[in-house]
Amino acid sequence: MDLGLERLRNMVLDMAELSQNTVSTAIDAYVQGRDLRDRIYGWSEELRMLQDEVSELAIELITRYQPVASDLRFIKSCMEVAYGFSRFGRYAHDISDVLGIFGDLSSCDRAAIQEAGAQAKQMILVSIKAFTARDVQLASQLKKMDDVVDNIYKDFVKKSAQVPEGNLKGFVSGTLILRCLERIAGHATYVGETVLYIVSGERAARK
């Protein structure tokens, strides 16, 4: 049982590292105007397959050992966290697709995306660290960080309602990317919430 749990943990941490790199690469590629869709798609597919492997191992451990208490909570959480990391890859691929759809966006104002992107990157790092260390206090920071990304997204959408027609491409593309970053931030927050569940068996209250 212990060996199986350690293997499960290592698989999830492998996903964590890959998902972090995938999101960072997608954001940096957008800012730099580089088309890295093929590379990011490959990583997102790898994350999807790793998620399947995590689920298979988790089900095997539950079936074979019938774990209870903290071990069962950890196994269930690994399945949920693996899903979150897989979604990071999916949203990173969606970000990279925007450049392919709209072409050159170098003349567009990317300040909001850079700010939200930096926050989302940091949230992924915090969520991984909190999950690895089972640090409830660190995980609790993610909700406030998530609010920052939400507010950037909402402010950008409000401004887009008044955008001159000549700047439409920048605001449409920006809205699409910020929506992806908002969802990445949301999944990072949920990864943090699983820490409380693993440690105490309680679920974080949601509004």
pLDDT in tens, 53-82: 999 999 999 999 999 899 999 999 999 999
> What does the alpha-carbon distance between residue 95 and residue 101 come to, in Å, rounded to a whole number?
10
Give the residue among 189, 184, 87 at the shortest CA–CA distance from 138. Answer: 189
pTM: 0.93
- The CATH number that applies at residue 8 is 1.20.58.220
pLDDT confidence bin for 27, thresholds 50/70/90: very high
Mean pLDDT of the region 132-144: 96
* Mean local confidence (pLDDT), 95-101: 89
Query: For residue 30, is it within any domain?
Result: yes
d(CA 204, CA 7): 27
- Residue 176: predicted pLDDT: 95
Answer yes or no: is 207 within a domain: no
- Specify if 205 maps to a domain: no
- Considering the domain boundaries, does residue 206 fall inside one? no
Is residue 106 in some structural domain?
yes
Domain that holds residue 196: 2-200
Q: Which residue has the higher pLDDT, 162 or 186?
A: 186
- What is the tally of structural domains in the chain? 1
